[in-house]
Amino acid sequence: MVWDSDYFKRPRRRYISSRSYSWRAFALCLSNLSTADRINPDPAAASQVEVEGESGLVAEILRRAYASGDGETPEFLHLLIQHRDDCLLDLEEAVGDRLSDELQAQLADIASDLDELGLEPDLCAVARVATGGNELDLRSIAEYLSTKVDAKRYEDARQRDRLLAPFKTSIDTFVEKFDDRPLRGGGMVRSPRSRVRSFLEDYVIANGCLPTGPVRVKSESRSFSLDLGTIEFPDIVSPTSD
């Protein structure tokens, strides 16, 4: 059961839920609350939350889930929620039962690297590979994953270059007709030429050829959406290598 001790927003201390949940399901439920449904959605309010029935790192996960903010489960919480109890106990022995800002950021980076590498979110398993033993050292895990990510990105870039090479001249020629001045909108944003180039390169990677005929070109960027409308692409008889 989770309680909030913010007396100023409610006259009496009240529990969030008396429904039966596993702690994992309840943590996800709490972190998915919208801001409007929270008494105090400030992450700093985690220290004001009391947890009954759980202790240690699990209780800290529940506190952080309740005070996690805007209705999305933070990466570091999602990573921890997926772990077995025995692995969480090992982590608690290694780092304690409080999730500092620094520790949250470190866990978030590890979660991102695990996702990029397509690995199971299992810190204990990764630790055995990274350290050759059972010691759960987050720094060693982070360094091991960072090295693996760098190697993957390097190989992905080489593969991308190989796939694009036969189409490079055609792409360079076609994008010349588009304005190369950066757009303004919340800061300097990539130019239409750069956006069309990215669209063509991604199309080639996905399809092995350039588009032909009328095609809608629309950016799905989170930071700045851009709809260039329908563009008529010429027929490319065959790719050429540089």
> Has residue 203 got a pLDDT over 60?
yes
**Are residues 182 and 97 part of one domain?**
no
Among 87, 119, 151, residue at a domain's last position: 119
Has residue 124 been placed in a domain?
no
Has residue 241 been placed in a domain?
no
pLDDT mean over 110-133: 92
**Are residues 179 and 92 part of one domain?**
no
Has residue 99 been placed in a domain?
yes
**Are residues 110 and 51 part of one domain?**
yes
**Are residues 108 and 24 part of one domain?**
yes
Q: Which helix (H) or strand (E) holds 231?
A: strand 226-233
Domain of 11 in residue numbering reads as 2-119
Has residue 144 been placed in a domain?
no
More confident residue, 9 or 173: 173
- pTM for the predicted model, two decimal places: 0.74
Has residue 209 been placed in a domain?
yes
Has residue 211 been placed in a domain?
yes
Q: What is the DSSP string of 208-242?
A: SS---EEEEEEE--SS--EEEEEEEEPP--S----
pLDDT tens digit sequence for 217-238: 876 655 556 677 888 888 764 4
State how many domains the chain has.
2
Pairing of strands 226-233, 213-219: antiparallel
Has residue 127 been placed in a domain?
no
> Has residue 79 got a pLDDT over 80?
yes
pLDDT mean over 104-129: 94
**Are residues 191 and 98 part of one domain?**
no
